Amino acid sequence: MSFLRHITACNTHDLSHYRPFFVAGQRVGMVREDLCRRLAGFGDPFTIRYDGIAVSESLAGPAERTAAVRSALDRLVEEGEVPPLRGEDYPVLSQWGTEPLMAMDRAAMPCFGLKCFGLHVNGYVRKEDGLHLWVGKRAMDRGVAPGQYDNLVAGGQPAGLSLAENLEKEGAEEASLPPELVRRAVPVGIVSYLMGTEAGLKDDSLFCYDLELDETFEPRNTDGEVERFELWPVSKVAESVERTDDWKFNVNLVVIDFLIRHGFLTPDHPEYMALCKGLRR
Amino acid sequence: MSFLRHITACNTHDLSHYRPFFVAGQRVGMVREDLCRRLAGFGDPFTIRYDGIAVSESLAGPAERTAAVRSALDRLVEEGEVPPLRGEDYPVLSQWGTEPLMAMDRAAMPCFGLKCFGLHVNGYVRKEDGLHLWVGKRAMDRGVAPGQYDNLVAGGQPAGLSLAENLEKEGAEEASLPPELVRRAVPVGIVSYLMGTEAGLKDDSLFCYDLELDETFEPRNTDGEVERFELWPVSKVAESVERTDDWKFNVNLVVIDFLIRHGFLTPDHPEYMALCKGLRR
């Protein structure tokens, strides 16, 4: 019975088995040692550095890097070194706000420990008896977190879209939010974590938004990711996150951040300080 | 012209010149090397450890430690090793939420690098033309940050008061907030930093509160800390924090946190990610 265990779960990793990964001379990620060994023997487009693995500096720019690594990934997927690609490119950034150094299929991002960004929208309704939060139950056929609870809207940040464009796209697909409504979502900070998984390292930063909705709005999913939406009192949400593992791993953190910012989780809670500090690594 | 420089200023320190400080067998702080040398020669109530300096373990409990260290501090103040005491005791904690191991005059806390806690209240008013924030101009005769801008209410957390009691006390003293009004302040998270100063290390965590006020309420200071209050549009507050050094050093951080949580500082800002991560160390 703890909120903090969710933050611990999202920040469990052992960096001693990873080596730095470089693109365009910049350190952008970390590769597991066994994959490093495979990449070292792969040749172009990868080169060995004394301190890690790099995408060859001979490749002229982002487009050339993206194409060359995509071909290599096809072979690495066949060999079972990288999970099946998902056909959606993410930007490879040294940090948020910089120009992409290349793009890479989202499935391969953790294999190289690359920074991924996403957006999560807390959709809430002020009722007479207090705040209520829209909760999405993920479809059972999803590869990630089937049947678990999710935010009203959540999605990764793909290459070629601004955050605002992605918010509009995801809002429409996941909850049928009209553009003029989703634009009212207020950015309220980030949640970030570094999570070791079978594929590699998830170095994720999630932009959090709060969107106040009136009682008449009913979200409706159109992309098959969510089975149904339910409107829960915040107390029920808090109890569920604290006591169960029913929520998608990183949604727990977004909800904990919401509970803190809105004063539902207070300094009296023994985990308060650790939660505040643990939400952003 | 930057928000981030305020976070940098509050987190500038060089720990290589400090040694660990222990109370009741627990590491609770850090002492500057030159003060360590003096304490090592002082004898009771301080003892030397191979890895730092401790309050003697022979002292039976919190009351005995507090009394013995208080006598020692009087001598250290005379010698100029510790700044003049202020006559207000702060709790010495291994971490927030634990029982105090002893108490110590607030002026001496940074000399031992002890964790200090405080509370800051963002008092805001929703007007037709947007959010406004109450800004206190500190009195010119203050030892700390004379003439600089402050939150509506701000104060350190003394020994023997709960956070809620302190909120009520400070709200009354600093802004004449009646108890039933100040109790509506919503805890919204923390801001923390580690700042090297002439006296030592400020290891501070500030509990932040938002308090919505209506247009009719006029804060009035009673304890002489604030010269006058002004109600500023949030845009003026943001511009002032970004462009000037007119604000008390740590109030900058509380205001930046407010601007992020309320969506005035957005992911488009080049410093956004660094600000989000830098507000809590």
Residue A137 at interface with chain B, using a CB cutoff of 8 Å? no
Predicted ipTM of the assembly: 0.96
Mean pLDDT of chain A: 97
- Does residue A88 register a pLDDT over 90? yes
Residue range B193-227, pLDDT digits in tens: 999 999 999 999 999 999 999 999 999 999 999 99
For the domain spanning A15-108, the CATH number is: 3.30.750.160
Beta-carbon separation of B280 and A280 below 8 A: yes
Rounded to the nearest 10°, the torsion over CA A170, A175, A179, A180 is -140
Residue B193: closest C-alpha in chain A: A277
Which residues of chain B are within 8 Å of residue A166 when distances are taken between CB atoms?
A: none
Long-range CB contacts for residues B62-70, cutoff 8 Å, separation at least 24: B62/B99, B62/B100, B62/B101, B62/B102, B62/B103, B65/B23, B65/B24, B65/B101, B65/B102, B66/B102, B66/B103, B66/B104, B68/B44, B69/B45, B69/B102, B69/B104, B70/B104, B70/B105
* Confidence band for B1, pLDDT divided at 50, 70 and 90: confident
CA–CA dist B265, B221 (Å, integer): 30
Can you tell me the mean pLDDT for A101-123?
A: 98
Residue range A199-249, pLDDT digits in tens: 999 999 999 999 999 999 999 999 999 999 999 999 999 999 999 999 999
Can you tell me the mean pLDDT for B124-153?
A: 96
Can you tell me the mean pLDDT for A61-88?
A: 97
Residue B186 exposure: Cα atoms within 13 Å on the Cβ side: 16
Residue B266 at interface with chain A, using a CB cutoff of 8 Å? yes
Q: What is the model's pLDDT at position B33?
A: 95
Nearest CA-CA distance, residue B185 and chain A, Å: 9
Q: How much of chain A exceeds pLDDT 90, in percent?
A: 98
Beta-carbon separation of B273 and A189 below 8 A: no
Can you tell me the mean pLDDT for B111-139?
A: 97
- Does residue A269 register a pLDDT over 90? yes
Q: How much of chain B exceeds pLDDT 90, in percent?
A: 98
Q: Which residues, in sequence order, are bridge partners of residue A138?
A: A226
Can you tell me the mean pLDDT for B30-36?
A: 96
Instruction: Read off the pTM.
Output: 0.97
- Does residue B143 register a pLDDT over 90? no
Can you tell me the mean pLDDT for A184-194?
A: 98
Q: If contacts are CB pairs under 8 Å, which of residues 190-209 in chain A contact chain B?
A: 190, 192, 205, 207
Beta-carbon separation of B205 and A273 below 8 A: yes
Q: How much of chain A exceeds pLDDT 70, in percent?
A: 100
Residue A43 at interface with chain B, using a CB cutoff of 8 Å? no
* Distances in whole angstroms, Cα of residue A202 to Cα of each of A10, B138, B280: 9, 46, 21
Residue B270 at interface with chain A, using a CB cutoff of 8 Å? yes
Residue A188: closest C-alpha in chain B: B261
List every span in chain B annotated with CATH 3.90.79.10: 4-11+116-278
Q: What is the largest CA-CA distance in chain B?
A: 64
Which residues of chain B are within 8 Å of residue A187 when distances are taken between CB atoms?
A: 260, 263, 266-267
The class (CATH top level) of B4-11+116-278 is alpha beta
List every span in chain A annotated with CATH 3.30.750.160: 15-108
Q: What is the model's pLDDT at position A143?
A: 87
Name the nearest CA neighbour of B257 among A97, A185, A122, A261: A261
Beta-carbon separation of B188 and A266 below 8 A: no
Residue B206: closest C-alpha in chain A: A273
- Does residue A1 register a pLDDT over 90? no
